[in-house]
Amino acid sequence: MRRIADYEVRGKRILVRVDLNCPVENGKIIGDTRIRAHAGTIKGLSDRGARVVVLSHQGRRGRDDFITLEQHARALHRIIGKDVTYVEDVVGPKAREAIKNLKDGDILVLDNVRHLHCETEHPHGRGEIIVHLSPLADYYVLDALSVAHRKHSSIVGFSHSMPCFAGGVLAAEIDAVDKVRHGRDVTFIFGGSKVEDSFAVMKRWLSDGRAKEVLVGGALAVLFLHAQGHNVGDSLAYLKDSGLTGKAAEARELLDRFDGKIVLPVDVGLSVPGAADVSPPAIIRQESDVQNIRKGQIWDIGPRTVERYVEAINNSHFIVMNGPAGVYELDDFSRGTKSILEAISRSDAFSLLGGGHTISAMERFGLDPRNFGYVSLSGKALIEYLCGEELPGVAALNENEKKFPVGK
C-alpha cells in the first residue's frame, strides 16, 4: 500500500477521506479523538503545500448524530491552528467552486458525504460524488481504517479515476494491527457487550491456534457464566432484555470446543441495593465467587480474577483488548477495567486497544496512550481486519497502485 508521505504533494489537489464521525449529544459533538488524529494528516499535507479537500461522514441518516461537518471544521481549525474553510455542500456549485479556488496549503472541509444518498446506496461505490469531484482532484488519500470496511463511494469509488494513497493514520493503524496479525500466542481480553464481534475474533484465532488465551469480562463474561450453568443473579434479566440469552448455546459451544482457552472470571463485583433511606437509593459493591451469586447484578470482575488476568498480561508478548471488564464509568465498578489497563500499560508486550468504551476508559483513568502499543480508532473495521477479512477500502488502494503508477 503506497503512502502519501513518500510522494511529492506540492500544488496537488488532494481529496482526503478521514473519519470525523464523533459522538453527538444534543446536536453538539463530544469527544474529538478522531478529529485530533486526522488533523495530523491534514496539517501535514497542508504544510507540504497540498490543496487539501477533506471528506468525511458523520452519523447515520435518521439518527440524532446525523449532522453537518461545520463543528468539525471549527475543531480542525482550533487543533491545526490554520485557516480551515467549510462549505455546506459536497458536489454542488459551491463545493466545486471552492475546490477550484484552493491555493497551495489551503484546507477545505466539505459537508457530510452521507447527505448524498449515493454515498451509501450506489451498488458499485461510484455515486455522483465520484463523477463530480474526480475531475477536480489529482490524488485521493484514505486516512481511516475505521471506515475501510464500508463499500461506500467516498471510500472505494475514487480508485477508478486517480492515484490513491494511504494517509498516516491508516498506515499506522494497519502497521499496528499487522504486528498482531502476524503474531502468535496473542492474549485477547474481551469485555463489553459486543458479543458477536468477540465471538468472531475468538473463533478465528482459537481455531488456528494462534490465540494464547481469551480473558473475558463485561457482559460477555456474564453470558459465558450463564452458558456454563452459573446463577448470574439479577444479570439474567439484563441478558434477556438485551437479547443475549439467544447467544448462550453458541457460547457453550465455544467453551466446549476451546476447552481451557477461554478464561472466565472466578469472582465478580455485584451491584446490590445499599441503605434504603437515602435518595436516590444507593448501590453498593459486594464481592462474590461465581458459585455463590444469588442476587445483584454482575458489574465488574472480582479481585482474584484481576490477579489471574494481570498475571496473564505479564506473561504475554501480544495483547489485544476490546471492551471494558465492567461498569467502568462508576468508580466502585471500575476496578477490574482499571487494573487490566494499568497492567497492560506497564507491560512490555505489544498491545492493541480497540473499541470506543476501551478508549474512554483509558482516558477516564488518565492513562497515557503512549504507554500502549497502539490505540485504535476503529470499531467494526478493526474486528473484521483482525478476523483476516479483506477490507474494501484497503483492497481498493492496493488495486489502484497497479493501475495508476506515480513516480516519487
Q: Which residues of the chain form contacts with Mg ion (CB under 5 A)?
A: 379-380
Q: What is the DSSP letter of 121?
A: H
d(CA 379, CA 366): 22
Binding of residue 226 to ligand 3PG (CB under 6 A): no
Residues 6+ apart with CB under 8 A from 172: 374
CA distance to 201, 272, 287, per residue, from 186 (Å): 12, 36, 30
Give me 315's grid cell: 506473561
Binding mask 37-76 for ligand 3PG (x = CB under 6 A): -----------------------x----------------
CA 334 distance to own-chain centroid: 21
2 binds, among ligand 3PG, Mg ion, none (CB under 5 to 8 A by kind): none
Helix, strand or coil for residue 267? strand
Looking at the Cβ atoms of 38 and 226, the one nearer to ligand 3PG is 38
d(CA 149, CA 142): 12
382 binds, among ligand 3PG, Mg ion, none (CB under 5 to 8 A by kind): none
Q: Of the candidates 69, 102, 137, 147, which one interacts with ligand 3PG according to CB under 6 A?
A: 147
C-beta of 149: minimal distance to Mg ion in Å? Answer: 8
C-beta of 117: minimal distance to ligand 3PG in Å? Answer: 15
Q: Which residues pair with 55 in a beta bridge?
A: 17
Which 356-395 residues touch ligand 3PG, going by CB under 6 A?
379-380
Binding of residue 397 to ligand 3PG (CB under 6 A): no
Binding of residue 21 to ligand 3PG (CB under 6 A): yes
Looking at the Cβ atoms of 197 and 213, the one nearer to Mg ion is 197
Q: Which residues pair with 54 in a beta bridge?
A: 16, 109
Binding piece for ligand 3PG, criterion CB under 6 A, among 146-154, 171-179, 259-267, 364-372: 146-154
C-beta of 173: minimal distance to ligand 3PG in Å? Answer: 13
Binding of residue 18 to ligand 3PG (CB under 6 A): no
49 binds, among ligand 3PG, Mg ion, none (CB under 5 to 8 A by kind): none
d(CA 231, CA 295): 9
Handedness of CA 148, 151, 155, 157 (dihedral sign): positive
Binding of residue 19 to ligand 3PG (CB under 6 A): yes
373 binds, among ligand 3PG, Mg ion, none (CB under 5 to 8 A by kind): none
Q: Which residues of 319-354 are buried (b: 16+ CB within 10 A; e: fewer)?
A: bbbbbbbbbbeeeebbbbbbbbbbbbbebebbbbbb
Looking at the Cβ atoms of 115 and 194, the one nearer to Mg ion is 194
- Candidates 125, 119, 42, 34; CA nearest to 80 is 42
Give me 243's grid cell: 437479547
Binding of residue 106 to ligand 3PG (CB under 6 A): no
Count of residues near ligand 3PG by CB under 6 A: 8
Binding of residue 150 to ligand 3PG (CB under 6 A): yes
Give me 123's grid cell: 451498488
d(CA 80, CA 113): 22
Applying CB under 6 A, which residues contact ligand 3PG?
A: 19, 21, 60, 146-147, 150, 379-380
